[in-house]
Amino acid sequence: MLILGVESSCDETGLALYDTALGLLSHALHSQVEMHAEYGGVVPELASRDHIRRVLPLTEHVLKEANKTLQDIDAIAYTQGPGLSGALLVGTSFAESLAFSLQIPTICVHHLEGHLLAPLLEENPPTFPFVALLVSGGHSQLMRVDGIGQYTLLGDTLDDAAGEAFDKTAKLLGLGYPGGPALSKLAQTGKPRFKLPRPLLNSGDLNFSFSGLKTAVLTLVNTHPNLDEQTKADIAWEFQEAVTEVLTTKCMAALRETGLDNLIVSGGVGANSKLREKLNAATKRKHCTVSYPRLEFCTDNGAMIAFAGAMRLKAMQKIEDSDYSFSVKPRWDLGELKAP
């Protein structure tokens, strides 16, 4: 079956075609990063309007690249939530109306399920069950994954998400938006010089807290009024060290507690090379495995949505008839998802 995937939950329009027999055939992405950069963050109304401009040309692009026509599509999977309501509405209304015109089924996908399953798009995918670390702009969660829709929350952030902490700290250091990639680039020229806290490192549970770290960076910034480039890089180095040490320690604790030996990492912060370096070393020491999506599928994309839709479709006993009505779920807890 050929599945068209549509992602429009935030500031990236992503389209992809996934064939359940042949794998990923094509994918295309338009990032709105440049458009939002001058405002220092995502402007929801601008995001929605841009998704409208991009969704049709990107659909034509993925069809052409895969040498397919609209009539070849068997089902459309789209992100129903969580995310920005206006942005979600664009992808949702586009997907449902195209499916109506083609009289094919639709599959509503939870954005985080898309992220969670993205490592399974790679060669030699991990098999269930595994522990998943989901670290994006809005989430820092550890989960036990037993199958599609079978997610048990093991730990969560009590305040800021890891990506959010990267973004806010980058802002304090005068770096652009989004902050994660910019901060990690700057950290490459940094040296060990400052000491920041490792929040909840030894809390005995699998929860995270990153907002205090940002406050500690603010204190450092305030005590160095003439922030030169090297000082900024040294702060970035230590900040990245603190976040990745906490994430790595908690991942290893989650593996220990669940007795599982496979870890997967997904979401934007999963692209961070220091995090990958630390997790590779720690899992190797404990004879565990760790899998990541390719770098471009760590951040938002259509391929993970097409894939999650295809997995759900495959697992369904019977494909429900769509009535092509639609709603979006800007707030949607992953725990509410059911196995297909």
Residue-wise burial string across 235-252, b where 16 or more C-beta atoms lie within 10 A, e elsewhere = bbbbbbbbbbebbbbbbb
Interface residue list for ligand KG4 (CB under 6 A): 136-138, 163, 166-167, 178-181, 184, 267-269, 271-272, 299-300
164 part of the interface to Zn ion, by CB under 5 A = no
According to the binding rule CB under 5 A, does residue 106 interact with Zn ion?
no
Closest by Cα among 198, 212, 4, 188 to 96: 4
Q: How far apart are CA 322 and CA 105, in angstroms?
A: 6
CB 98 within 8 A of CB 231: no
Q: Is 300 in the site for Zn ion (CB under 5 A)?
A: yes
179: partner contacted, choices Zn ion, ligand KG4, none (Cβ within 5-8 A by kind)? ligand KG4
Minimum CB separation of residue 70 from ligand KG4 in Å reads 28
**Beta carbon of residue 329, minimum distance to ligand KG4 (angstroms, whole number):** 14
The partner residues of 266 in beta bridges, in order of sequence, read: 134
Q: Quick one: which of 242, 220, 246 has its CA closest to 232?
A: 220
Query: Among residues 180 and 302, whose Cβ is nearest to ligand KG4?
Result: 180
- Minimum distance from residue 331 beta carbon to Zn ion (Å): 15
Q: How far is the CB of 52 from ligand KG4 (least distance, A)?
A: 20
How many CB atoms lie under 10 A from the CB of residue 65?
A: 13
167 belongs to the binding site for Zn ion (CB under 5 A): no
Q: Which residue is nearest to Zn ion (CB)?
A: 300
The site partner of 163 among ligand KG4, Zn ion, none (C-beta below 5 to 8 Å per kind) is ligand KG4
Q: Which of 124, 127, 119 is nearest to 147 (CA)?
A: 127
Instruction: Give residues in contact with Zn ion (CB under 5 A).
Output: 136, 300
